[in-house]
Structure 1
Amino acid sequence: MVGMKIHADLRSDTITLPSEAMKHAMLEAELGDDVLGDEPTVLKLQDAVADLFGKEAACFVPSGTMANQAAIRAHTQPGDEIVTHRDNHIYLYESGAWAAISGCSIRLLDGAGGQFSAEDVEAAVQHKDAHFPNSALLVAENTHNRGGGTIWPMERTEAVTAMARRHGMRCHLDGARIWNACAATGIEPAEYARCFDTVSACFSKGLGCPVGSIVAGDRESIHRVHRIRKLLGGTMRQSGMLAAACLHAMEHNRARLADDHRRARRLADAIVDIPGLEPGPAPVETNIVYFDVPGEADGFSERLDAAGIRMFAVGPRTMRAVLNLMVDDDGIDRTIEVLRTLV
Structure 2
Amino acid sequence: MPIDLRSDTVTQPTEKMRDAMRNAVVGDDVYGEDPTINRLEQLAAEMVGKEAALFVTSGTQGNQVAVLSHTARGDEVILGAKSHIFYYETGGLAAIAGVQPRTIQEVNGQMPVHEIVAAIREDDIHCPQTALICLENTHADSGGLILPLPYMKKVYEVSRNYQIPVHLDGARLFNAAVGLGVDVKEITKYVDSVQFCLSKGLSAPMGSILAGSKKFIDESRKWRKMLGGGLRQAGVVAAAGIVALEEMVDRLKEDHLHARSLAEGLAQIEGIAVNAEGVETNIIMFSVEELGMTSNEFIQQLNKHDVLANPEGPSRVRLVTNRSIKEGDIEKVVQAAKNISDKARVGA
Structures share fold, TM-score greater than 0.5: yes
Structure-2 residue corresponding to 1:27? 22
Range with bigger deviation, 16-25 or 111-120? 111-120
In 2 relative to 1, CA 55–259 (structure 1 residues): closer, same or farther, beyond 3 Å?
same
**Alignment counterpart, residue 176 of structure 1, candidates 147, 154, 171:** 171
- Match of residue 133 from structure 1: 128
- 1:211 corresponding residue in structure 2: 206
Tell me the percent identity. Answer: 39
Alpha-carbon distance change, 335 to 202 in structure 1, aligned in 2, over 3 angstroms: same
- The one-character-per-residue Cα deviations of 1:219-247 (angstroms, maximum 9, x if unpaired) are 11000110000000011011101111010
Q: Secondary structure at the match of 1:278?
A: coil
Q: Distance in 2 between matches of 1:337 and 1:95?
A: 37
Corresponding residue SS for 1:38: coil
Q: Which residue of 2 aligns with 1:200?
A: 195
> Is the 1:113–1:146 Cα contact (8 Å) retained in structure 2?
no
Give the corresponding residue for 2:64: 69
Alpha-carbon distance, 1:280 to partner: 5.0
- Superposition RMSD on alpha carbons, in Å? 1.1
Contact 2:20 2:239 in 1 (8 A): yes
| Alignment partner of 1:189 is 2:187 | no
TM-score by length of 1: 0.97
What residue identity is the alignment partner of 1:297?
Answer: S
C-alpha separation in 2, matches of 1:253 and 1:78: 39
Counterparts of 1:307-318 in structure 2 under 5 Å?
Answer: 307-318=305-316
Aligned length: 338
What's 2:324 paired with? 326
Q: CA deviation at 1:44?
A: 0.2
Letter in 2 for 1:302: Q
Contact 1:147 1:282 in 2 (8 A): no
After superposition, give the CA deviation of every residue in 1:265-309 in whole Å (9 maximum; x if it has no partner). Answer: 011111111000011598100000000112111111111011100
Of residues 296, 299, 310, the one that matches 1:298 is 296
Structure 2 gaps of 5+ residues are 342-348
Aligned pairs for 1:94-105 (under 5 A) are: 94-105=89-100
Q: CA deviation at 1:125?
A: 0.8
Q: Which of 114, 122, 125 is equivalent to 1:119?
A: 114
How far the C-alpha of 1:168 sits from its partner, in A, is 2.1
8 Å Cα contact 1:121-1:164 kept in structure 2? no
Structure 1 counterpart of 2:244: 249
Contact preservation (8 Å) 2:255, 2:322: yes
Aligned to 2:339: 341
Q: Could you tell me the TM-score, scaled by structure 2's length? A: 0.95
Q: Secondary structure at the match of 1:139?
A: strand
Structure 1 segments, 4+ long, off by >3 Å, are none
